[in-house]
Structure 1
Amino acid sequence: MMRSPTFLPLGLLFMTSATLGLMMLSNVGVIAREQIGLSLEAAAASIAVISIANTIGRFISGAASDTIGRLPALVFSLLLALGGIVLLMSAGTGDVLSFYAALAGIGICFGAFIGIYPSLVADEYGPKHNSVNFSILMLGYSAGGLIGPLLMTTAGASGSFSSVYIGGLVLCALGLTFAAVYRFIRSTTAAKTVSADGRLAS
């Protein structure tokens, strides 16, 4: 798997989504209180919203990936997260509906990657050693667990979340880029395989 040309874009794609999701999960209560002006109880409820969206995203994305394909489902989830970040950037004090909608989009995206990636890894590299292969790619999740909260801590120290939202947009853009790179490599590899099969047949 690690010698495959698709390993790096898949690993980086997972890392960007994990960074985005963990960045929000770790500090959503702070955003709720300081940016939206919610009470402590309502801020706690916002944590529940993104957690529920995360869980629902795993089921929805799993069904979607079986219908439209693994990569298209991941790309759609990244677009949902992108929309969520844009909503957060425009949300102000009292914009509770926009805030919860943003959390739902980001939570669904985070859950989608957790739900789809085991099947994607099995499809890409085969069932043999699938558990080990997925565990290696989960290093991207661990990296996201370090980077995401660090970004939020930096934003909190500056007293503004605008910088971290810009970082979120960059992460979404990077994720879409890595998805495009992966698709390009897959299509190129498939074309070479078909060409080689044709030469062998002739």
Structure 2
Amino acid sequence: MNLTRKRWFYLVLCCLINLCLGSIYAWSVFASPMATYLSQFAGKTLTTGDLAIVYTIANAVGPITMISGGFFNDKIGPKAVIFTGGLMFGLGLIASGFVHSVNMLILTYGIISGLGLGMAYGSTISTAVKYFQDKRGLIGGITTGIYGLSSVILPPIVTAIVATTDVTMAFKIVGAVFLVIVCVSALFLKPCPADFVPEGWTPPVAVKSNGNDKNWKEMLQTPIFYIMILTLTCGAFSGMMIISQASGVAINMIGMTAASAAIAVSVLALFNALGRIVAGFISDKIGRINTLTGALVLSMAGLCALYFCKVGAVALFYCGIAVVGICFGAFMGVFPGFTVDRFGAKNNSVNYGIMFIGFALAGYFGPSVMRQVFAADGAYQRAFLIALAFDVAGIILTFCYRVVLKKSEGEK
């Protein structure tokens, strides 16, 4: 089969894998029943806030295997890398169904599954983007969007499994199914040839001459890398903060039931996925940095809506999480193509893994701020103000990016 056509088959496989890996965004649905389950072993009542460290670590460790796995992905291709990552991810989820303490859950879900997720996710994104040089923004949006779509599909399924059995069985079932899907799909993937150019597409002159194909050492020597990674941290902060405890926010701030909160998590995930695809497409038209600036401005509006929420303000709450979800998705959808634009496709698996540290920082500080603010204030409003400050900082960084880029291009 012609490789220009067969690449769509590889894209479908990458999307199917990411649909499984994206279950991490459904953490808040697992968290509430898991806190209740572990309370009987802890000798005290645990809350979702007590388990937030698990989700934080799962996101924080991802770049470790994204970078190491990215090295092997660039050298030997995605098959072995994604298979190994899928094995770790699935086994970590299954093992989470046998834990009796928060520390054990940190090991199984936070570390084992988190490391496996990072290894597989980095390879799927890099592989898909390499095959679609002509549609980097759109493909980055689709692959990351499907990743986010998992938490639209999974919450009602997990809720149903928990209702009929318990949360431990939910972990075991989901882990086993995802392990099989990811590992089998990985067996059919092949690396993109270095000289591959899609039929009917000619690389623009700007792409050929903008200093692409930097390795990670060369990337770290450019000032623009540090602006980009900090911008990613600022842009992902509010999304990671809210996603980590979306169910808890819906219950504690709006007064929703557990079932209604699960629907809210799905709505947040739906707009997260939508933002990735739409922003990826738009960024191909108006540019990556313009798209990111717009997302940050829009995010501020969403955070303001959440700040003014109170018990019973369901419509305003949905507006807030929908907007924040779109804006968070925009950053996750645009950055794969953005990284390739600036540093080239050849070493992108490693380069994007390093860039993803910006996301990991947001994944650590966002949920931590949310947890600490609620513990201190009994409310979430101050956390939304902190997130607003990060959005402002991100907007400033996008203008710094333009200045530095213009200067570097003028020196060539």
* TM-score after normalising by structure 1: 0.92
1:1-202 to 2 correspondences below 5 Å: 1-158=219-376, 159-193=378-412
Counterpart for residue 200 of structure 1: none
Mapped to 2, the partners of 1:91 and 1:160 lie a distance apart of 11
Where 1:127 maps in the other structure, the secondary structure is coil
Where 1:6 maps in the other structure, the secondary structure is helix
Mapped to 1, the partners of 2:237 and 2:284 lie a distance apart of 25
Mapped to 1, the partners of 2:255 and 2:403 lie a distance apart of 45
Where 2:223 maps in the other structure, the secondary structure is coil
Mapped to 1, the partners of 2:342 and 2:252 lie a distance apart of 43
- Counterpart AA for 1:161: Y
How far apart are 1:179 and its partner, in Å?
A: 1.1
Mapped to 2, the partners of 1:127 and 1:149 lie a distance apart of 32
How many residues of Structure 1 are paired with residues of Structure 2 in the alignment? 193
Mapped to 1, the partners of 2:280 and 2:232 lie a distance apart of 16
Unaligned runs of 5+ in 2: 1-218
Where 1:47 maps in the other structure, the secondary structure is helix
The CA RMSD measured in Å over matched residues stands at 1.1
- Counterpart AA for 2:247: G
Mapped to 2, the partners of 1:160 and 1:93 lie a distance apart of 11
Q: Deviations over 1:9-41 (max 9, x none)?
A: 101011122222111100111211121121221
Q: Deviations over 1:20-76 (max 9, x none)?
A: 211110011121112112122111111111111111111100111011111111111
- Counterpart AA for 2:401: Y
Where 2:254 maps in the other structure, the secondary structure is coil
- Counterpart AA for 1:177: I
Counterpart for residue 33 of structure 2: none
- Counterpart AA for 1:39: T
Mapped to 1, the partners of 2:258 and 2:230 lie a distance apart of 36
Mapped to 1, the partners of 2:243 and 2:231 lie a distance apart of 19
Where 1:103 maps in the other structure, the secondary structure is helix
Pair member with larger Rg: 2
- Counterpart AA for 2:330: A
How far apart are 1:94 and its partner, in Å?
A: 1.5
Mapped to 1, the partners of 2:235 and 2:295 lie a distance apart of 10
Mapped to 2, the partners of 1:186 and 1:17 lie a distance apart of 19
How far apart are 1:178 and its partner, in Å?
A: 1.3
Mapped to 2, the partners of 1:99 and 1:162 lie a distance apart of 13
- Counterpart AA for 2:308: S
Mapped to 1, the partners of 2:297 and 2:339 lie a distance apart of 22
Mapped to 2, the partners of 1:128 and 1:65 lie a distance apart of 21
* TM-score after normalising by structure 2: 0.46
Q: Percent identity?
A: 32
